[in-house]
């Protein structure tokens, strides 16, 4: 027997109140799906059946908490009680009347039955309801059976096609919950891609689905593999499509081509960030920065890979060559220019930890690196790159190069920020110098001496300026 949903008490209270008015409350959408998946429920959406006017619902809700009418035109009221927000809505139908995600005609009808209202939803697993008062699940399209069989199946061909974003939703649901697309859903999604329906989607909506794929999937590679199978990668993301079948040295990459390695590295980063949550909370935007950096880290191999006469495969300079394709790929998803630019150094320098370790880099080189990028961030990307392959060293889970560079940079106090300048413009002014274009030259020269380790305190810095620039203080 399926256990009842555990709901916040306020929902039971409201259900009883609605029942006295001849109406019923049904929990719908992701919270019911997540109940069966054993996933923590964060949001509750409730559809109310049996009322004629949305104002009636608003009046009932206002007796218990605050009501925001922001979604009134779509039949949605946001109800807040004890600091928690719930979405209450009327059952509705949505008819496509024009292009774009706003091109729908919404019709509310409190007298509609659940099956009719649920038909507008995308997948059967999202069309299960929980009737609070009756304490029973309502499942008109077999969503529970699909969940048991780990299957993702759409409800209706006509309504599904009306919103092409549902193809991306299929991708992230499959990856997040370990589902396989049913044969009919796979065919329909492929046809939607080949017919060019995804072109009408704004990048912001695509980015949202990619974020869910990357942040909420234990193995994002499942989603990228599915996007390739559906034709999305070839049609909409040429930078990623270009790395498919690009060969790599079997010595360093026995797992295969650049595409295969990249997906393994993305999964490695996802595992690293999941573990990171237990130690130190990290904002989602920061996590995405690392995930996109590792997704893009080898895009430059497309144009730099060569095969020599003896069969040796090299990709010399691929780190720098990857900057531009990274920029263009990310601009397909977001207009957050500064955030994109913050990812590029992680791509450009991702081999530095291994190179520094192999060649025994000295303190000045490590200090110089810290002026270009946060070394702790860089090691995180390089570690995922190292672990995302099928070598014995990678399978050990130990990245010696990264551990070594972190230790060295911490000893030099540059792991998370470059050296602080010993001398600043105000110090030169305090010594009696008049501001001039030479200030920049002086300060830069002193800082370079700091990096080399030849100047270690302010007194030495002042003496250096006096000697090198023949300065006389007033």
Q: 3-class SS at 155?
A: coil
Alpha-helix residue ranges (DSSP H) falling in 133-179: 143-148, 157-161, 165-177
Instruction: Return the pLDDT at 101.
Output: 52
Instruction: Return the pLDDT at 279.
Output: 47
Residue range(s) in the chain whose domain bears CATH number 3.30.460.10: 9-149
Render pLDDT for 320-337 as a digit per residue (tens, 0 to 9).
999 999 999 999 999 999
Q: Is the pLDDT of residue 33 over 70?
A: yes
Q: 3-class SS at 240?
A: helix
Render pLDDT for 180-225 as a digit per residue (tens, 0 to 9).
999 999 999 999 999 999 999 999 999 999 999 999 999 999 999 9
Backbone angles phi, psi at 130, to 5 degrees: -125, 110
Helices 165-177, 203-216: inter-axial angle, 10-degree rounding: 0
Average pLDDT over all residues of the chain: 93
Which band of pLDDT confidence, cut at 50, 70 and 90, is reported for residue 97? Answer: very low
Q: 3-class SS at 105?
A: strand
Render pLDDT for 267-319 as a digit per residue (tens, 0 to 9).
999 999 987 654 456 889 999 999 999 999 999 999 999 999 999 999 999 99
Are 340 and 330 in contact by the 8 Å Cβ rule? The answer is yes
CATH architecture of 9-149: 2-Layer Sandwich (3.30)
Q: What angle do CA 189, 190, 195 make, to 5 degrees?
A: 100
User: Is the overall model pTM greater than 0.85, yes or no?
Assistant: yes
Are 214 and 288 in contact by the 8 Å Cβ rule? The answer is yes
Strand partners, 77: 88
Q: Is the pLDDT of residue 98 over 60?
A: no
The candidate with the shortest Cα–Cα distance to 46, out of 81, 89, 103, 98, is: 89
Q: 3-class SS at 26?
A: strand
Render pLDDT for 239-276 as a digit per residue (tens, 0 to 9).
999 999 999 999 999 999 999 999 999 999 999 998 76
Q: How far apart are CA 393 and CA 403, in angstroms?
A: 14
Are 377 and 290 in contact by the 8 Å Cβ rule? The answer is yes
**Angular region, 456: left φ>0, alpha ψ -120 to 50, beta rest:** alpha
Percent of the chain clearing pLDDT 90 (strictly above): 84
Give the number of C-alpha atoms closer than 13 A to the C-alpha of residue 328, restricted to the C-beta side.
11
Q: Quick one: average pLDDT of 409-431?
A: 93
Query: Looking at 257-315, which runs of residues are DSSP E strands?
Result: 306-307, 313-314
Long-range contacts of 95-98 (CB under 8 A, 24+ apart): 96/162
Alpha-helix residue ranges (DSSP H) falling in 231-257: 232-236, 238-241
């Amino acid at each position: 027997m399926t256990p009842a949903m555990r709901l916040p008490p306020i929902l039971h209270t409201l259900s009883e109140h609605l029942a006295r008015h001849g109406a019923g409350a049904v929990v719908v959408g992701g919270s019911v799906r997540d109940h069966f998946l054993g996933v923590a429920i964060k949001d509750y959406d409730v559809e109310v059946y049996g009322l004629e006017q949305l104002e009636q619902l608003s009046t009932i809700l206002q007796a218990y908490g605050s009501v925001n009418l922001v979604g009134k035109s779509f039949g949605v009221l946001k109800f807040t009680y004890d600091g928690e927000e719930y979405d209450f809505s009327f059952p509705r139908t949505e008819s496509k009347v024009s292009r774009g995600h706003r091109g729908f005609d919404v019709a509310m009808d409190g007298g509609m039955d659940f099956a009719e209202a649920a038909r507008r939803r995308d997948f059967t697993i999202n069309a299960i309801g929980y009737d609070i008062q009756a304490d029973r699940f309502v499942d008109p399209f077999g969503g529970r059976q699909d969940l048991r069989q780990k299957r993702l199946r759409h409800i209706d061909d006509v309504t599904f096609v009306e919103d092409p974003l549902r193809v991306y939703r299929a991708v992230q649901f499959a990856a997040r919950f370990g589902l396989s697309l049913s044969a009919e859903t796979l065919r329909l999604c492929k046809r939607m891609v080949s017919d060019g329906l995804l072109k009408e989607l704004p990048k912001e909506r695509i980015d949202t689905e990619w974020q869910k794929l990357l942040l909420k999937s234990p193995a994002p590679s499942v989603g990228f593999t599915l996007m390739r199978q559906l034709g999305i990668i070839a049609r909409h993301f040429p930078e990623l499509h270009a790395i498919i079948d690009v060969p790599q040295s079997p010595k360093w990459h026995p797992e295969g081509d650049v595409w295969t390695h990249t997906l393994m590295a993305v999964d490695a980063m996802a595992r690293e960030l999941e573990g990171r949550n237990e130690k130190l909370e990290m904002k989602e935007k920061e996590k995405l920065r690392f995930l996109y950096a590792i997704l893009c880290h080898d895009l430059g191999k497309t144009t730099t890979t060569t095969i020599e006469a003896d069969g040796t495969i090299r990709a010399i300079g691929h780190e720098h060559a990857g900057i531009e394709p990274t920029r263009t790929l990310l601009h397909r998803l977001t207009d957050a220019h500064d955030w994109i630019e913050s990812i590029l150094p992680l791509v450009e320098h991702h081999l530095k930890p291994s190179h520094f370790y192999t060649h025994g880099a000295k303190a000045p080189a490590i200090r110089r690196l810290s002026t270009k990028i946060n070394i702790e961030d860089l090691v995180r990307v390089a570690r995922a790159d190292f672990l995302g392959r099928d070598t014995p060293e990678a399978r050990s889970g130990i990245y010696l190069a990264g551990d070594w560079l972190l230790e060295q940079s911490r000893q030099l106090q540059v792991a998370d920020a470059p050296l602080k300048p010993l001398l600043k413009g105000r110090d030169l002014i305090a010594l009696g110098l008049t501001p001039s274009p030479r200030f920049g030259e002086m300060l830069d020269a002193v800082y370079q001496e700091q990096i080399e380790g030849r100047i270690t305190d302010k007194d030495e810095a002042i003496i250096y300026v006096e000697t090198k620039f023949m300065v006389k203080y007033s």
